[in-house]
Structure 1
Amino acid sequence: MSGVALGTAALSLAGALGLLLGGLSWRGVGLGIGGVLFAGIFVGHLASVAGLKFDGAMIEFIREFGLILFVFTIGIQVGPGFFSTLQKSGLQLNLIAAAIVALGVLVTLGLHALTSVPVPALVGLMSGAVTNTPGLGAATQVLKDIGADTATLSQPGLGYAVAYPFGILGILTSMLLVRAVLKIRIEAEEAAFDATRARGAAELPSLNLRVRNPNLDGLRLGEVPDLYDAGVVVSRLRKGDELLHPTRDTVLNLGDVLHLVGPAPKLHAMELILGERAESALTTTKGTRLTWERIAVTEKKALGRHIRDFGLEAHNVTISRVMRAGTEVPADGALTLQFGDILTVVGGKEEIAAARPLFGNQAKSLENVQFSAVFIGIVLGVLVGSVPILVPGLPAPLKLGLAGGPLVVAIVLSRIGFLGPFVFFMPPVANHALRELGIVLFLAAVGLKAGDSFLATLIHGDGLVWMLYGAIITLVPLLIVGFAARMVWKVNYLSLSGVLAGSMTDPPALAFANAMAPNSAAQSIGYAAVYPLVMCLRILAPQVLVLLLM
């Protein structure tokens, strides 16, 4: 059997066994995708005992390409909401998560000063202790860039494998300790979160307002200050018993009821201008000529155009809401449309049907993967990752590398939406499949390389001591920041649990947090809010450590 064939068989076997191993769990806790690494180590160890040799160049290529595929699909997934998570309430949660990352780096630096653990193994320990696989990839890549030999390149994988199991248990232990020591009641936290959310956490609330301002009687809607082109949409108007579709030329009279959609502060401002809140139910169009429909943006000619450019008033329809990557954004006239946006269009049936071709609404297009865009994005990511970044104090330029470059480029491209003929949209199912394939290939390749020396390091070497160091890197940042966030900043415990899981980019930990309050969304919201920033920091941190310490 050729080296390529042998390597292919070994990688496939490690992937299959690892996914089976990762699927095993106890009370919702298991190795997850990390099972592939241990299966790779097992297969690599057996191959070493049997005297089998793999094609080193092939294994290296598979490892790097798997990493690129993984981080690129992550960037495409988180990109549309990345910048919004750094605003408003998400800012505090991101600061907490960033503090955990920074403290973990400081603990690692302390271990370097106090112990004799080699730097390559130490950055592997740090990545394993926080269960962050892209960080392992970044560490391996920067070591390769500075000319490390084969033995050195295997050390991050060894450190990662030793620290990974307690990395999973450590995050769960931290959640339980914070809860027990501070005597937190889950029911009270759930109720507090729901109450906070009900007071105005909704991104795009709606409001029915009755016109009581006599200065507005007889004016056209377009003449009402700040009503149009300011982030507020008038989607319905009731005159007496008749429900109408309003336009800028619609004449306003006292007693009319408007249904407005927009950010809460702007709705409050309109309440001060128009009059008072009304109890009338304008959200239903049953029994009227009006209706509404969700239309997907799939027409390439619509991409990059502002909502106001479509002349929807001439079609007698209104876009009241825009859903982008799971998040509602204000349907402002200046909003630029992207592929995959879901528009809520209000109007008559015939008018909506006439406006539908402007946006495409081809459901099958949402299921297709734009592979040309994927490959051009990878090319750009590799180029960006290869650009040296001069940082004062570092002995060598910093590079985003094959882990950071594709991630940053994917975030930016998915935020832009399209570039010429390339549309950077990927169906969630396809994104998950490609992401899973990439991480399986990467971990299997890392495991095969580390397999011949893992047991020797664990049993006869410093493996057990390394395991202790990994536990320190896991627990110290989580406990310090976790207690501070709760005691000083009064962060809701369920939200904090999601942030702790997100700071480790650990889905099993999120599953554990969700199990504490199955009906609450606080944990998932906290996790999603910090995940993009943490992923970037976890990828950059090992590179900085390698360049500083080697």
Structure 2
Amino acid sequence: MIDFLVETPILLLVLVSALGYLLGQIKVKGSSLGVAAVLFVGLAFGALDPRLGLPEFTTLLGLILFVYAVGLSSGPGFFAALRRKGVRDNTFVVGMLAAAALLTAGLGLVVGLPNTVTSGLFTGSLTNTPALAALLERIEAKAPPELVETMLSEPVVGYSITYPVGIAGVILAIVIAQKVWKIDYAEETDGVAGAKTTGEDLESVSILVTNQDIAGATVRDLMQRHDWDVIFGRIRVTGAGQELVEADTVVRPGSVVSVVGTRENIAPVVELLGEPARERLEKRRHEYDFRRIFVSNPDVTGRPIRDLRFLQQVGAIVTRVRRGDVEWLATGDTVLELGDRVRVVARPSDMPLMNERFGDSYKALSEVNLFTLSVGIMAGMLIGLIPIPLPGGLEFKLGLAGGPLIAGLILGNAGRTGPLVWYLPYNANLLLRQLGLVLFFAGVGTKSGYAFFNTLMAGGTGLVIFGVGAVITCVTALTALWIGYRMLKIPMGVLVGMLAGIHTQPAVLSYAVQQSGSDLPNLGYATTFPMATIAKILFAQLLLLLL
């Protein structure tokens, strides 16, 4: 059976993926590993035979697809977060990694490990392949010729033994933090400015205006004065038909207005304006109709809704946007993406035009734009190959993990460049992330499994390296969680993503997203990953030089 799997790596990949998926669905006290379980199934298969390792191409392709898709979806939020608290967050990252490097140096000296093993152990405990690659490059350039081969193998030993525990230890730290602090991710997400990851339970209420004190006030005046988080839809003045509400619409006693929002946000509007009306304006669909339309036309994506001129030309409005399973109020600043569903209010005669302009075609989205996807990934790979000089004659590259992430963030924030739309449909983005993770986890697991378990079973130095790596991983992760949550007051949904970024580990990010039920971890990860990569490359080489 093993020989058969060695000869058919595709079957090995499918088998590891399927069993990993089943394992990931098992919940223990409300928690499950999700797609990260593929990694541990891969380790188990790899432990059976050293030949049971998937080709390196599998791992690299999975990594590229995953980080690029994360970058595309996180771009706008990343740059907004960077402007708000980028300095604080990245200072936090560098401080934690500096502390981890000091801990590594101390433990390495206590147990008597060579500097080559200690520096490799640092890169494995914090799961950073670019840092290991930089180490090997420096050793090859600076080591005496007769010692090059031995010195090159030692960091790899430290890395390979500690890498699996570098993943499991962080996941364990997150589980502990969630239990100890009784984290409610949904409640925390509601408090994050601009977060639209848990959705809003929206409803429409028609209000009979009875308050004489607001006579003559425009909708703009009322919204600014009371800071309401609602949308005014229609208005019917006594003795007249319905009209769509605009910013300059005057609200007068006796009129009926429809308001869209959450029940909590609508309540103060009703209290100020008057009382719930007996009639429901949205039920009178012969004057203005509403329809949920699927966004499949690239021409309307990547632009704020206020710039969609055809809405103004026919007097139509968008009141709600639904992306995946999440729905929120539409504003003029809302930027649509392929795959969104929008709720449009317009005259019945204008509805065919709305369908045409927004697209309303599932079939159109079944074909991903392979040109823009390929161009974006190629740009990311090229960015990853650029050598960046550092003090002391050092240099680093972002590699295939950092380059596509940076490209994805930039292109995702841009949305479009002329006729080129960089966004992927929501479902396609999720599929790329899932597929990328499965390929990455299966490749890493099967490649590392044999050496990992053999070293553990042999005991001796290997067991010492494993123990030291476990301490570094767990102490760093738990300390980062405590400082971030207790001292810096970072919401846990963002913090677990930052922790994944500190460890530059997609498996941890996958688990964090699965636990939080939102995309907030992606923002934390994208904010911290580039700085974490640079800091690890520097600290790993400092450990090599100074110990």
Q: Does 1:38 align with 2:38?
A: no
CA 65–109 in structure 1, closer or farther in 2 if over 3 Å, else same: farther
Deviation at 1:376, TM superposition (A): 0.8
Q: Give the corresponding residue for 1:476.
A: 475
Q: Give the corresponding residue for 2:153.
A: 151
SS of aligned partner of 1:390: strand
C-alpha distance in structure 2 between counterparts of 1:152 and 1:402, whole Å: 24
Q: Deviations over 1:231-252 (max 9, x none)?
A: 9854221324864323578665
Q: More deviation in 10-19 or 351-360?
A: 10-19
Deviation at 1:32, TM superposition (A): 1.0
Deviation at 1:358, TM superposition (A): 1.9
Whether the aligned pair in 2 keeps the contact of 1:208 and 1:278 (CA below 8 Å) is no
Gaps of 5+ in 1: 48-53, 180-185, 515-521
Q: Give the corresponding residue for 1:404.
A: 402
CA 331–436 in structure 1, closer or farther in 2 if over 3 Å, else same: closer
Counterpart of 2:282 in structure 1: which amino acid? T
CA 129–70 in structure 1, closer or farther in 2 if over 3 Å, else same: same
Q: Deviations over 1:38-67 (max 9, x none)?
A: 1463255256xxxxxx9xxx9444443332
Q: Does 1:426 align with 2:418?
A: no
Q: CA RMSD in A?
A: 5.1
Q: Give the corresponding residue for 1:103.
A: 96
C-alpha distance in structure 2 between counterparts of 1:119 and 1:323, whole Å: 54
Q: Give the corresponding residue for 2:504.
A: none
Q: Give the corresponding residue for 1:9.
A: 8
Matches within 5 A, 1:126-525: 129=125, 135-143=127-135, 151=153, 154-155=156-157, 156-176=159-179, 178-179=180-181, 193=187, 210=209, 217=216, 234-240=232-238, 243-247=242-246, 253-259=252-258, 276-280=272-276, 285-289=282-286, 290-306=288-304, 307-323=306-322, 331-333=330-332, 337-391=336-390, 393=391, 395-447=393-445, 450=448, 453-458=451-456, 459-484=458-483, 496=492, 499-500=495-496, 503-504=499-500, 506=508, 510=512, 524=518
Counterpart of 1:112 in structure 2: which amino acid? A
TM-score by length of structure 1 reads: 0.71
Q: Give the corresponding residue for 2:537.
A: 543
Deviation at 1:351, TM superposition (A): 2.3
Deviation at 1:407, TM superposition (A): 0.8
Q: Does 1:533 align with 2:527?
A: yes
2:68 equivalent among 69, 72, 79: 72
C-alpha distance in structure 2 between counterparts of 1:382 and 1:172, whole Å: 34
Q: Deviations over 1:312-371 (max 9, x none)?
A: 233121123445677777755466554344433112322233333222222223333222
Gaps of 5+ in 2: 141-148, 501-506
Whether the aligned pair in 2 keeps the contact of 1:213 and 1:254 (CA below 8 Å) is yes
Counterpart of 2:474 in structure 1: which amino acid? L
CA 251–443 in structure 1, closer or farther in 2 if over 3 Å, else same: closer
Counterpart of 1:71 in structure 2: which amino acid? V
C-alpha distance in structure 1 between counterparts of 2:395 and 2:212, whole Å: 64
C-alpha distance in structure 2 between counterparts of 1:475 and 1:223, whole Å: 54
Q: Deviations over 1:407-435 (max 9, x none)?
A: 11112212222334443233454444433
C-alpha distance in structure 2 between counterparts of 1:305 and 1:14, whole Å: 40
Counterpart of 2:272 in structure 1: which amino acid? E
TM-score by length of structure 2 reads: 0.71
Whether the aligned pair in 1 keeps the contact of 2:230 and 2:329 (CA below 8 Å) is yes
Q: More deviation in 150-159 or 413-422?
A: 150-159
C-alpha distance in structure 1 between counterparts of 2:192 and 2:529, whole Å: 30
CA 348–404 in structure 1, closer or farther in 2 if over 3 Å, else same: same
CA 313–482 in structure 1, closer or farther in 2 if over 3 Å, else same: closer
Whether the aligned pair in 2 keeps the contact of 1:76 and 1:425 (CA below 8 Å) is yes
What is the identity percentage for the equivalent residue pairs of Structure 1 and Structure 2? 26
C-alpha distance in structure 1 between counterparts of 2:135 and 2:373, whole Å: 27
C-alpha distance in structure 2 between counterparts of 1:368 and 1:413, whole Å: 20
Whether the aligned pair in 1 keeps the contact of 2:74 and 2:523 (CA below 8 Å) is no
Whether the aligned pair in 2 keeps the contact of 1:43 and 1:448 (CA below 8 Å) is no
Deviation at 1:125, TM superposition (A): 5.0
CA 213–355 in structure 1, closer or farther in 2 if over 3 Å, else same: farther
Whether the aligned pair in 2 keeps the contact of 1:128 and 1:159 (CA below 8 Å) is yes
SS of aligned partner of 1:279: strand
Whether the aligned pair in 2 keeps the contact of 1:291 and 1:346 (CA below 8 Å) is yes
